[in-house]
Every structure is written in structure tokens, then in C-alpha cells.
């Protein structure tokens, strides 16, 4: 698997119109001042196409593999808060200075940080949970004086287009290649089925308040998978397939 930020630098050079983002950058892996500079450089090189996705970190196996300390969740969230302050200061001030202690899937903490600093937020949840999270986000926005509608609400799905046999095949292949459990792949808020079902689910999320969909195709490396998804699903959503 390629490293995200170096890959995006190459994509910034080789593409012209697509947006470039991460799902998501772990705050613990890079000093916020460095991350702010990396992100701003790629944003300039791509003519404003970068989206910075950042979270407090959660995958302990990856921390251990890299040799990073895995702190408890409250401390990781406190570190994220300071990082967001540093990054925003570096992006908006001519000369930024910051003094802090460090350099929640929690709606009480994470969504409050979104209300204070974020341009977008991302959910991996079923529709009732998404509705609840958006209600909480709206409350945080009211508390801090933020326009709720100015925040882009997004979701990410593992998505497999096909019948049950095709879904079983793709899940098994993805599990073999990544080492992930098949049940985990199926449960990752799946958007699986034929084009009609996928379009119906997308519309249900849109009615719940989601505005932007990130589609993760486990079989994207197979020839034609992305093109097929666009040609079969997009028209059912009223979208035009780019030529």
C-alpha cells in the first residue's frame, strides 16, 4: 500500500480536476506544523483541489508497526485539538505562534471540534446514527456560533456493485489481499447490491442530511470497476458521467 501524502503529490501533478483527500490522516504521525505545510504545498500544486481529512487516530496495530506511542483516547483528542489550532493558525496568519501542552469518536469532543474548526465532517454509520450525529453537530454549531450549513457532511462506504455471488467474491478477495476479516468488510456500513439498491441507499442518506459520498471500491483495481459503477449508478442519481 502506498503512503498517502507522497501519493497525493504525484496525483496533484498527474490530474487536473478531481479533488484530493485522505480518509483520514492520523494526527499522531506528523507534527501539525509539518502537516500544515505539506497540505498547503499540495493544495497550491493542485490549484486548490486538496481536502485535509484529519482524525485523532484509532488503529493501534498501525501505531505499533510504526513504533509510535498509542495514548489513550482522551489524550489523543486533546492532541488533535491543539493540532487543529496550529494548522488553522498557519493557514490564516502571516506569522503564527502557538504554545500548548502538546505541540472523541466522541460526539461531545470530535463534533465540537468540527463546529469550531472544520469545513467538513465524515461519518461511518447507519442512517439513524447519522441523523443523531448531525443533530449533535447542529447543537455544537449553535453553541459556538457556527453556521451549520457551512459544514460539508460526508459519509464513506465500502461499495460493491453486483449480485450476491459477485459481492461474496469481491469480499473474499479483498479480505485475502488486506488481511481484514470478511465480516468486518461487510459491516463497514456497506453499500452493496445492484445499481437500483445502491442509488436508493444513497438517496436515503441524502435525505438524512448527507451531502457528499466517498465510495471505496474494494475491487477498484479490476479493470472497468470504476467505470461500471459510474455508468450504472450515476444516472440513477441524476448525475452525468464525465467523458
pLDDT by residue (tens digit) across 67-88?
A: 999 999 999 999 999 999 999 9
Q: What cell does 18 get? A: 478531481
Q: What cell does 195 get? A: 445499481
Task: Give the pLDDT band of residue 118 (cuts 50, 70, 90).
Answer: very high
Report the number of secondary-structure helices (H) and strands (E) in the chain: 10, 6
Residue 81, domain extent: 1-103
Domain membership flag for residue 189: no
| Distance (Å) of CA 82 to CA 33, 38, 93, 109, 217 | 11, 18, 16, 13, 34
Per-residue pLDDT at 188: 67
Please state whether 177 falls in left (phi above 0), alpha (psi between -120 and 50) or beta.
alpha
Per-residue pLDDT at 100: 77
Greater confidence (139 vs 160) lies with: 139
Greater confidence (106 vs 216) lies with: 216
Q: Over pLDDT 90: what percentage of the chain?
A: 63
Task: Give the pLDDT band of residue 104 (cuts 50, 70, 90).
Answer: very low
Ranges 4-13, 104-113, 176-185, 213-222, most confident? 4-13
Domain membership flag for residue 39: yes
- Say yes or no to pLDDT of 224 above 90: no
Greater confidence (109 vs 27) lies with: 27
- Which pTM value belongs to this model? 0.67
Domain membership flag for residue 91: yes
| Distance (Å) of CA 45 to CA 17, 33, 40 | 12, 19, 9
Task: Give the pLDDT band of residue 6 (cuts 50, 70, 90).
Answer: very high
Domain membership flag for residue 53: yes
Domain membership flag for residue 48: yes
Greater confidence (98 vs 113) lies with: 113
What average pLDDT does this structure show over 46-66? 94
Domain membership flag for residue 76: yes
Task: Give the pLDDT band of residue 160 (cuts 50, 70, 90).
Answer: confident
Domain membership flag for residue 47: yes
Domain count, the chain: 1
* Three-state DSSP state, 26: strand
Domain membership flag for residue 205: no
Amino acid at each position: 500500500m502506498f503512503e498517502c501524502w507522497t501519493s497525493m503529490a504525484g496525483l496533484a501533478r498527474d490530474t487536473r480536476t478531481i479533488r484530493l483527500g485522505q480518509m483520514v490522516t492520523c494526527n499522531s504521525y506528523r507534527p501539525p506544523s509539518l502537516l500544515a505545510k505539506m497540505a498547503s504545498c499540495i493544495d497550491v500544486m493542485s490549484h486548490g483541489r486538496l481536502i485535509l481529512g484529519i482524525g485523532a487516530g484509532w488503529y493501534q496495530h498501525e501505531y505499533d508497526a510504526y513504533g509510535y506511542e498509542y495514548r489513550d483516547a482522551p489524550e489523543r483528542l486533546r492532541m488533535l485539538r491543539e493540532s487543529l489550532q496550529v494548522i488553522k493558525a498557519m493557514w490564516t496568519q502571516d506569522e503564527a505562534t502557538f504554545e500548548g501542552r502538546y505541540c472523541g469518536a466522541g460526539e461531545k469532543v470530535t463534533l465540537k471540534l468540527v463546529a469550531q474548526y472544520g469545513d467538513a465532517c465524515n461519518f461511518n454509520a447507519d442512517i439513524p446514527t447519522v441523523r443523531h450525529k448531525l443533530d449533535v453537530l447542529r447543537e455544537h454549531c449553535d453553541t459556538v456560533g457556527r453556521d451549520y450549513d457551512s459544514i460539508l457532511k460526508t459519509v464513506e462506504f465500502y461499495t460493491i456493485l453486483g449480485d450476491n455471488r459477485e459481492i461474496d467474491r469481491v469480499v473474499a478477495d479483498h479480505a485475502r489481499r488486506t488481511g481484514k476479516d470478511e465480516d468486518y468488510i461487510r459491516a463497514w456500513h456497506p453499500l452493496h447490491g445492484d445499481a437500483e439498491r445502491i442509488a436508493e441507499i444513497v438517496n436515503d442518506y441524502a435525505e438524512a442530511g448527507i451531502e457528499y459520498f466517498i465510495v471505496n471500491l474494494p475491487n477498484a483495481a479490476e479493470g472497468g470497476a470504476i467505470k461500471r459503477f459510474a455508468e450504472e449508478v450515476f444516472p440513477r442519481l441524476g448525475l452525468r458521467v464525465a467523458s
